[in-house]
Structure 1
Amino acid sequence: MTTTMRPARRRGARALAAAAVAGSLALAAAGCGESGDYAVPDRVCGVPVDADTLSPLLPDGEKLTESRRDKGPGSKSCRVTVDDTLVVYLAGDITDRGTDAVSPGDRGLRRLGEPALVQGVGDKAAVADGGAKAMASCTYKGEPRQFVGLVQLEADAPVPAKTPERRDALLAFLKSWFPAAGEAQGCAP
């Protein structure tokens, strides 16, 4: 059962400052700061997610966009931007079972900073300072395969700013996005 939640709203720094000034002056300006807000979606790159898990990974800004790319059979990626700055990269790949796609020694994960194995997502998962990766056995087109999903933060100043909170936010988002992403690519558990 999928529950659609009302998306959270993000405000740009100017909108927040304007709202604070308006509140402190007790002005009743209906809609003040609303035009620059973007709604945090409950679907990202065609995959349903809990907006509350996506929101901590997104900076304030005016506009959120995404661009999807089909990289061939069983391989998709998507770039999420805020105000034309790439902030989150998502990738999903169907691979052969037995491929160890998630390891703290993996160069890609090490590049994201201090990867550590975590529990509660797929068959195996790791979270690093700037990303997270998981893999799970599945069936794809009637064949035993595995789904590998990657969440990578791309901005120069990733959010949350503090590394422990960012790692927790990445894990929470991975738990929300990963199972739905695998199913969306036709890799059923």
Structure 2
Amino acid sequence: MSSMKRYSLRLACGTMSLATLLVGATGCGEPEPFKVSEACGARFDPDLIGRLLPRGDEVVPDDTFSEPRQLRCEFAVDGQEQVGLRGDVVEPFVKPLEVKESVMLRLGDPAPADIGDGATISDHGAMALKACTYKGERMQYVLAIDGVEDPKDITERRHLLEKFLRSQLPVAMEEEGCRP
């Protein structure tokens, strides 16, 4: 091999190595989102719930207050409680979106969303409901998430909250035994 070819080969390899280092370095600033596939007795799309949690070293779910018909899951990141998730089987005459209207206002700029039988997406939380049959009785299932501060871009956060509800509502209903 001529010296010119060897020089060109070394230059190309050096350039590829530098490009590889730069690509690897771009992800070094902030930890990756958590991958949570199961917590508090519920299954999750690991890519969705993790993107709604702040970045950190450790996520610990707590379901101390969960009971049958009432999923309660609080996610603590690096020892600080951050995001709360609640699922409830409620009577069909209850109007959760009306009852929680002030809560959704407090969570910032609530807007309706076409999920289940009704939903509201706010800047820092969301809620959706769907009619179902629970132990032979007509009921409805309500899924709510709050305390969401990530991602920092509010438009992206609201999009992820909507995507999370679309994905999680049928899963949570099924796990609670609430059939559409």
Q: TM-score range by the shorter chain?
A: 0.7 to 0.9
Gaps of 5+ in 2: 1-20
Give the Å deviation of 1:37. 7.5
Give the Å deviation of 1:98. 2.8
TM-score (norm 2): 0.76
CA–CA distance in structure 1, aligned partners of residues 130 and 47 of structure 2: 24
User: More deviation in 42-51 or 123-132?
Assistant: 42-51
| Structure holding more helix per residue | 2
Q: Does 1:101 align with 2:96?
A: yes
Match 1:173 to one of 164, 171, 176: 164
Closer, same or farther in 2 for the Cα pair 1:37/1:129, shift >3 Å? closer
TM-score (norm 1): 0.73
Closer, same or farther in 2 for the Cα pair 1:106/1:148, shift >3 Å? same
Aligned position for 1:115: 110
Gaps of 5+ in 1: 1-22, 27-32
Closer, same or farther in 2 for the Cα pair 1:95/1:159, shift >3 Å? same
Paired residue type of 1:110: L
Runs of 4+ in 1 over 4 A off after TM superposition: 36-39, 70-73
Q: Does 1:185 align with 2:176?
A: yes
Aligned position for 2:120: 126
Aligned length: 154
Deviations 1:9-29 (Å, cap 9, x if unpaired)?
xxxxxxxxxxxxxx46x9xxx
Give the Å deviation of 1:39. 4.7
Paired residue type of 1:97: P
Q: Which structure is larger by alpha-carbon Rg, 1 or 2?
A: 2
**Preserved contact between residue 125 and residue 145 of structure 2 (Cα < 8 Å):** yes
